[in-house]
A and B are shown apart, each in its own frame.
Chain A
């Protein structure tokens, strides 16, 4: 299947000539001369790449980028700009997830080289996911392995904007898996190879968080993005601790080690703030993921009414995942033990606990 590109350039002569060149190399190319036409073409057809000129008119580049973000988040966006404005544009567009910036005017070779760089960044993680027609068990297994690889990369290399973007795409892929399969409850009831290492845990946190959001009907694209990447990266602060402190072993810690571990939510914010404009809800999920409704969590002893609602989902998913791992239980066994433990349930919002239980139930039973 050929790669499809939409060239959104005001200079039609330029874009048509480039289109003809690219089509000789088996690319499927279309052109748009203004922002409105660009949006219309994206609405009508699925493109892999959109190259959009920063100076496009009749729907500005910002309007088009917002549209693409909300309606076609899988499209890879390349912004073209004259060399004199390149630095200014890079600064202005930091809040948008664009794959690359290319200097205008560009040749076919330059555009293809740009696309190859984007491909090399994107392929390592998503290509390992199972297809939609695989069994649910196979899909979960593949998603867990891909997430493990992603987390290992983040923990070893540090979090870069490109890796953050990869996390968004991975989160989106896990969400699509959650939404298209109706029988997760059956699989959750039967899982017995939960896994217990550092890189497995973020997958389960993101996965349970998204399942809970599904039962809560908190499933707008923005909420899912926040929950997914917040779940995957909630422990990113651990990368700033000594390696021996990254594994969760509270039973073996002294008070000094416990105090060190308890600053990792704050360290997580430090990591995220080094990146360009991470949305505030994600920062708050990372910061609050060890708060508890009884006001005895850390780092801020926030009580139930003060905890960020989306963080409550990740908080419970995080705790539940740890609960299962440390007691070496299956998820269903863990659930049965967890919900009758007063000491446990008083730490969490009962609405959120109910949403966790409902993940193990058939969907029509929720009504």
Chain B
């Protein structure tokens, strides 16, 4: 499935290479950046639907990247991969809305998480004006009426 553009942010070239290879069938295009500052430059030029990002990087780490993006109004789903000893950074990151987390080094569930992240990012761009509570209640009641009808049958 190719749906959406992915940005990989990591200062370790080998990790970037491996991720790009593993995920090439999951995204339409894959961009890379070696740190948060480079990521911001990429985001100025390209449409990105999901970011996968290391926490610890030189120049600008994952925490500062998500802070900067959220402050600029960019709600792109961000997936962080973590190693040991990053507890404080992780607690900081969640305040800005991380989409998911993967554990180094095996990154179990990588493909599934990226697929969901790209889908969330892609659909986010297509969102109409959010519905009102009244509209949601109507929709929910319609579903309930279908259940009631089913029960009567």
Contact = CB atoms under 8 A, between A and B. Distances in A.
A183 to B, nearest CB: 12
Contacts of B137: 339-340, 342, 345
B82 interface: yes
B17 interface: no
Contact of B94 (A66, A70, A300, A362): A300
A255 to B, nearest CB: 25
A335 B94 contact: no
A339 B147 CA distance: 14
A280 B137 CA distance: 34
B116 A309 contact: yes
A60 to B, nearest CB: 12
Nearest to B133: A342
Interface residues of B, number: 35
A273 B87 contact: yes
Given A223-B112, A342-B133, A66 B106 contact: yes
Contact of B108 (A69, A287, A306, A360): A69
Contacts of A350: 131, 136, 139
A66 B108 contact: yes
B143 interface: yes
Nearest to B135: A350
A306 B151 CA distance: 38
A298 B136 CA distance: 25
A288 interface: yes
A189 interface: yes
A354 interface: yes
A277 interface: yes
Contacts of A69: 108
A336 interface: yes
Contacts of A279: 101, 103, 108
Interface of A: 62, 66, 69-70, 95, 185, 189, 218, 220-223, 273, 277, 279-281, 283-284, 287-288, 300, 302, 305-310, 332, 335-336, 339-340, 342, 345-346, 350, 353-354, 357-358, 360-362, 365
17 contacts: A70-B108, A189-B151, A218-B116, A220-B109, A279-B103, A280-B82, A305-B75, A306-B96, A308-B98, A336-B144, A339-B140, A340-B137, A342-B137, A345-B133, A350-B136, A362-B150, A365-B146
